[in-house]
Structure 1
Amino acid sequence: MARSAWQGTYSFDGFTLDGRSAQLSYQGRHIPLRPKAYEFLLLLLHGRGRLFSKEELLETLWPDTIASEDSLAQLARSARSALGQTGQDAIVNIPRRGYRFDLPVEAKMPEQAAPRPEVHYAMSGDIHIAYQVVGEGPIDLIYAPGWVSHLEYGWESPLVAQFLRGLASFSRLILFDKRGTGLSDRAYGLPTIEQRMDDVRAVLDDAGSRRAVVFGMSEAGGLAISFAAQYPERVSALVLYGAFARRVRSATYPWAPTAKERQKFYDEIERGWGGPIAINEIAPSLAGDTAFRNWWAAYQRRSASPADALALARMNTGVDVIAQLPAIKAPTLVLHRKKDEHVHVEEARLMARRIPSAMLRELSGADHLIYAGNQGAIIEATREFALRHGAEDCTG
């Protein structure tokens, strides 16, 4: 069987396996599995109930190597273990004959995959800001990504696509690349917070959005906070995830990185840009996943040049929006994973205390990256909050 025939997406009993990226997930949570076990499981799923002989499996999975039935049995055990209680019922061994997948499978082949959203450009002064609009929900939601991003390449990751489609399932989702990143203009020099806020207004205006739920992730939390404080008439609700109010440690803000720690991060960018920068800290659940590491490295390379990435990192060090927190009038949801090592949960607690009428939701997990770990909990909390507070007509 040609391997190109495997490149579908297969869903069963809450699990999803994407054949193009070799990513297995359960209800949005990534499940690590070594590459050969992925191939074994993917082949069975593609067969959807067909009995594969041991000879066919050995020849397909090890085309250039002599492998034993013990090797095949080990793959079966690995795949069953990854599927938990579902594994024993799903992967059936017919003695002396072979293996088959014994549960109902919903398959979506590549030609059925959802098309990539169209890229538009809004003019912010003389700078082009790239954006996309996804979904037709009753509210507008503009998502500001952390640090660097790339609108088109982000969709190449099943985890990112799943997260964005989740947000778009209940909203008209507006995505954009901040100036200096992705498909937006690589403007000379460091952008000011005022320029970044102008960029958000330009995107909302061009997308025909009068009022929106503003969702800021990580570094973009400062942008979202500033925008909500300065333009309350454009913000129906505010959602912050993994955000911070300051990026320089002080006696009153002891959770931020030290100057030495920030310098270490700058050095990592200068020496290692092109590799999976910071993956161990921001996405520990995916740090050992080769496919995701490769995608993350390519995503960063496409999102910014080494010089741009370093400049943006230095700019982020200057973020300080503590004084603006009490000025926020919009209903606010603060989301944070309790064991996030990149941004301490106490930073979320401080913001929730100082933003009037803010609600704090502390989530389980250690991943800082929003689409790593249990992204379903983030999507559901955002959906419930946004629909409750952003139900006004958001379109012009």
Structure 2
Amino acid sequence: MSKKSEVIESEKITLQKLSSPSPHPIQFASVDGLRIAFNTIGSAEETLIVCPGIVSNLHVAAHLPAIRDSMNALAEFSRVVCFDKRGQGLSDTVLGTTELEERYKDIGAVAEASDSEKFFLMGISEGGPMSIRYAIESPKKIKGLILFGTSAKFVQSEHFQIGISEKGLDALAESWGSGRARSTFFPSMSRNEMDDDVYKGLERLLAERDSMRQLVGYMKTLDVREIVPNVSCPCLVIHFSGDMAIPVRLGRALAENLPNCEFLEVAGIDHSDLAKSPEAIKAIHEFMISNS
């Protein structure tokens, strides 16, 4: 075997790697009788709490390059606190669906358990609206709000024509586990790095199809447009220009309605791989320095 082949094999993502324990110790916060799993990466002075997208698992995140490399890049200049929302990943399961007014409290619980008195908050994708809600509820705790690949509302409606079609979200839920979402979430990830069978397994590791149906149903209800103007902290909205999951027009509309907000559109087609954009990482670093 050539050295090049050896390198490729050593870097190839397998289900065994993805399901291995995270090297970052798992801790638990408590809220509403539930345990919320979190961990910390890095030890810099400023804390950045990261609210994940529609599905997450702290063990998987530690080995999935898009998430692992992004969090490691942020940990170069911050103490990154990652968590699994209630009902997801390593956090306690919940019966039935949950509402935004319940879910946003996970952030406060994680902040308290991680000794984060004042911090920066990042909401990724579906984690954006609950981050906005928390920033309004607890303004004295937030130094700055970073919103990445997200929107105040996701689904198209009569008065929100720029949204994603409901049929598109339903198709995501119904095809979950088949690997069809790969081209939407990770279009630039090569088959040499992760083959299609492993990607299908990744989807099933993150959520069962019934769970995805519930999560998509919850995502359809999200609409924080009315409260967006009430955010008082400095904001940075970042969006990949070619994001095929949450189109950049949604991020642009969000930024236009946030007071004291900077909008950064960066080149890229992946949904949430910050590590692919040194420009985005630099912008976050500078935003945190400016608002520390």
Fold agreement, TM-score > 0.5? yes
Alpha carbons 1:248, 1:317 under 8 Å: kept: yes
> In the TM superposition, what whole-angstrom CA distance separates every residue of 1:87-118 from its partner, at most 9, and x where no partner exists?
xxxxxxxxxxxxxxxxxxxxxxxxxxxx8110
> In the TM superposition, what whole-angstrom CA distance separates every residue of 1:19-39 from its partner, at most 9, and x where no partner exists?
53238xxxxxxxxxxxxxxxx
Partner of 1:286: 189
Partner of 2:281: 379
- Aligned match for 1:208, one of 97, 100, 115: 115
Structure 1 residue 125 displacement after superposition: 2.0
- In the alignment, the residues of structure 1 paired with residue 280 and residue 41 of structure 2 have an alpha-carbon distance, to the nearest angstrom, of 18
Letter in 2 for 1:164: M
- In the alignment, the residues of structure 1 paired with residue 83 and residue 268 of structure 2 have an alpha-carbon distance, to the nearest angstrom, of 27
Distance 1:166 1:308, change over 3 A: same
Alpha carbons 1:134, 1:168 under 8 Å: kept: yes
Partner of 2:11: 21
Alpha carbons 2:274, 2:281 under 8 Å: kept: no
Letter in 1 for 2:281: I
Partner of 2:151: 244
> In the TM superposition, what whole-angstrom CA distance separates every residue of 1:111-169 from its partner, at most 9, and x where no partner exists?
xxxx8110001111210100001111121100111111110121122343221111111
- Aligned match for 1:313, one of 183, 194, 216: 216
- Aligned match for 1:229, one of 118, 130, 136: 136
The answer as to 2:91 corresponding to 1:184 is: yes
Partner of 1:366: 269
Among the aligned pairs, what percent are the same residue? 27
> In the TM superposition, what whole-angstrom CA distance separates every residue of 1:334-366 from its partner, at most 9, and x where no partner exists?
001112222222211211111101000010122
Partner of 2:47: 140
Please tell me whether Structure 1 or Structure 2 has the larger radius of gyration of its CA atoms. 1
- In the alignment, the residues of structure 2 paired with residue 380 and residue 286 of structure 1 have an alpha-carbon distance, to the nearest angstrom, of 23
- Aligned match for 2:255, one of 349, 352, 361: 352
Partner of 2:203: 300
Letter in 1 for 2:12: A
- In the alignment, the residues of structure 1 paired with residue 69 and residue 40 of structure 2 have an alpha-carbon distance, to the nearest angstrom, of 16
Structure 1 residue 376 displacement after superposition: 2.5
The answer as to 2:65 corresponding to 1:158 is: yes
- In the alignment, the residues of structure 2 paired with residue 364 and residue 20 of structure 1 have an alpha-carbon distance, to the nearest angstrom, of 29
Listed as ranges, the matches of 1:103-118 within 5 Å are 116-118=23-25
- Aligned match for 2:26, one of 119, 122, 125: 119
Partner of 2:18: none
Gaps of 5+ in 2: 14-21
Alpha carbons 1:247, 1:257 under 8 Å: kept: yes
Distance 1:379 1:369, change over 3 A: same
- Aligned match for 2:233, one of 327, 330, 344: 330
Structure 1 residue 293 displacement after superposition: 4.4
Distance 1:295 1:329, change over 3 A: farther
Letter in 1 for 2:42: G
Letter in 2 for 1:187: V
Q: CA RMSD in A?
A: 2.3
Distance 1:371 1:302, change over 3 A: farther
- In the alignment, the residues of structure 2 paired with residue 118 and residue 365 of structure 1 have an alpha-carbon distance, to the nearest angstrom, of 32
Structure 1 residue 264 displacement after superposition: 2.2
Partner of 1:388: 290
- In the alignment, the residues of structure 1 paired with residue 65 and residue 246 of structure 2 have an alpha-carbon distance, to the nearest angstrom, of 25
SS in 1 for 2:175: helix
Alpha carbons 1:284, 1:367 under 8 Å: kept: yes
- In the alignment, the residues of structure 1 paired with residue 180 and residue 146 of structure 2 have an alpha-carbon distance, to the nearest angstrom, of 26
How many positions carry a matched residue from both structures? 282
- In the alignment, the residues of structure 2 paired with residue 299 and residue 312 of structure 1 have an alpha-carbon distance, to the nearest angstrom, of 17
- In the alignment, the residues of structure 2 paired with residue 338 and residue 211 of structure 1 have an alpha-carbon distance, to the nearest angstrom, of 31
- In the alignment, the residues of structure 2 paired with residue 18 and residue 308 of structure 1 have an alpha-carbon distance, to the nearest angstrom, of 34
Alpha carbons 1:21, 1:291 under 8 Å: kept: no
Alpha carbons 2:66, 2:272 under 8 Å: kept: no
Alpha carbons 2:150, 2:246 under 8 Å: kept: yes
